[in-house]
Each structure stands twice: as structure tokens, then as C-alpha cells.
Amino acid sequence: MRQLEVDLAFAALIEGAADVHWVDSLYLDAMPALRAQAPDARLNLVVHYLPSLVSHGGDLAGPAHETTATERQALDAAGAFLVTSQYMRRELLRISVGERPVFCVEPGVTVAPLHRRFANASPHLLMLCNVTEGKGVLELLSALAERVRADDAFRLEIAGRLDISQRYAERCAAMIASHSELDRRVHLLGGVTHHQALALLGRADLLVSASRMESYGMALSEARAAGVPIVARVGGHAAAHVDAEAGGSLVADESGVTARLLELVREPKLLAECQKRARASRLVRSWDDAAADLLAQL
């Protein structure tokens, strides 16, 4: 198996360097040209992200979302699909991919190293997401600015890239800077490595997600493996990770996320109970299991 950037993939297709080529859905716009380069190649698509699905909000109960022209051209160019959740598999079938196979393999998880939590410390809340529109960061900050009280004791760290939607990230930073109660509690960390993200998760008291749609929800999965309780907005596959019996809370929107996290911050016993349930209900899936699933389907 070789990992290639898109420009090198064109040459690999011509050379026939591999029997099967898998293209990440982050590079949807390259799929038609790659197919044109090698009409008979086994060119497949790993679908873990569709921009239109983020805009749609990922509601399987509603009508099927409409794909963009770029998405449809990319989907039409693929011979088969690999998705990361049954939710994404159902969505692909809803938007019609014909008789082409759709393989579903949920990722494995690397368990965060847990750190000792100090009883008298203020709760450490964590968002693990790039600061983009689909992650609902600005909306959560706006709701938090309206509801936070001077005596609320917590620290909220947001770990994720700030350069993907730069204007949006700048608006988030401006919102924090303009509100004194946010400024002393909320910290934009910028992009972090996976190792750093796991370290942050390992010392978090609560994982917070305001994402509109999760095709899988890697951070949510890692929180479940680490035994960290979750407050998340409903959307896509998020509900598969959030269980009240595991100390989790699934709410309708960013306002609900804000209300619940503040409730937990203000009621330490309730937060402690959620943490106890999360630690007792850890879910861990190995990458060996994921590999075995893929091989079995192929």
C-alpha cells in the first residue's frame, strides 16, 4: 500500500502501479480528472466527508440531501465506496450510487492516556475540532456569552486548525476577545498533533461537540474509549457515540450544548456522576478489528 498526493496519483494511474486506488473524499474535485486519466482503473472513493451533507445537517429522517455538481461527478467516477459508519452507508444509498459496492468499516481508536484529575480544580472542557462553520464553534460561543455567569468556574479549550475557514476562525477569536467572561475561560489552541489531542482528552473532564453533522465522529469515539463524558449536538453518526448510561448528553442545537455544559459546571456532583458512568462504559475498538472488517468485505 502506498499513500500519494493527488499530483503523484495521476502518474501512478498511468503506470498501473497498484491494482486498486482509493481517493479520500477531501479530494472530490480531483476524481473526474483521475477517472479520465485511466478510464479502466479500479478507482474507488473513501467517503467520510461530503460538504452538502454538512449543510444538510445529516438528518436521516428527512428527505435525502441534494449533492452538488462536484460531489455527483466524483461519485459517478468511483467504482466502489468505503465509508466509516452505517450512517454514511445509508446516506450514500439514499442519494443513489446504483449497484456499486459500499464497504463500511468503522475506524479503530487509540486510547488517550488518562491523567489524574484533581478534586478542587475547575472543570476542564475540551472541543476537538477544526474551527469551521460545520463545527458550530461561533454559535456555541455566542450562546455561551449570553449565559455564562461571573462565578462559573471552568476552562474551555478548543483544539483544531484555524486556517481552514480563516474568516470564521477570526470571528471566533474576536468573539472571545470582546467578551471578558469568555476571554478568561476560552482558549483557541490551533492545530495539534494526534498525540497532543489525546493528551488533552486524557485530562479533560468533559468533551463538548457542537458539530452539525458527524459522518463518524472520531473525537467522540476517542472520548468513549477514554471514559470522558460527552455533550454533543445531534447530527449524523453522533448519536451512536453518545449514551446517557455512559454519562453523555445529546441535544438539539448549540444552545442546548451550552445549557447542558453550564449545568454540569454548576453542579459538580452531577458532573462527577457523568464521569463515573463514562469510565464504567468505555468502548474500545482496535485497528486490527477495523482491518479485519475491511479484509472480510473485500
Helix axes 218-226, 194-202, angle to 10 degrees: 40
Q: What is the mean pLDDT of residues 216-236?
A: 96
pLDDT at 62: 56
pLDDT at 22: 92
Strands (E) located in 203-257: 206-209, 230-233, 249-251
| pLDDT per position as a tens digit, 147-195 | 999 999 999 999 999 999 999 999 999 999 999 999 999 999 999 999 9
pLDDT at 248: 98
Name the CA dihedral angle for 269, 270, 273, 279, rounded to a multiple of 10 degrees.
Answer: -110
| pLDDT per position as a tens digit, 67-114 | 889 999 999 999 999 999 999 999 999 888 889 999 999 999 988 887
| pLDDT per position as a tens digit, 238-277 | 999 999 999 999 999 999 999 999 999 999 999 999 999 9
What residue ranges do the domains of the chain occupy? 6-104, 124-280
**Any idea which residue has 476552562 for its cell?**
155
Closest CA to 159 of 184, 107, 122, 195: 195
pLDDT at 259: 98
Question: Domain 124-280 is in which class?
Answer: alpha beta
pLDDT at 63: 61
Residue 279 pLDDT grade (very low, low, confident, very high; cuts 50, 70, 90):
very high
* Beta bridge mates, 249: 231
Tell me: pLDDT of 119 over 80.
Answer: no
Q: Which amino acid is at 15?
A: E
Question: What's the grid cell of residue 140?
Answer: 456555541
Query: How far apart, in Å, do the first and last CA atoms of the chain sit?
Result: 15
Residue 208 pLDDT grade (very low, low, confident, very high; cuts 50, 70, 90):
very high
Taking the C-alpha atoms of residue 256 and residue 258, their distance in angstroms, rounded to an integer, is 5
Q: What is the pTM of this model?
A: 0.92
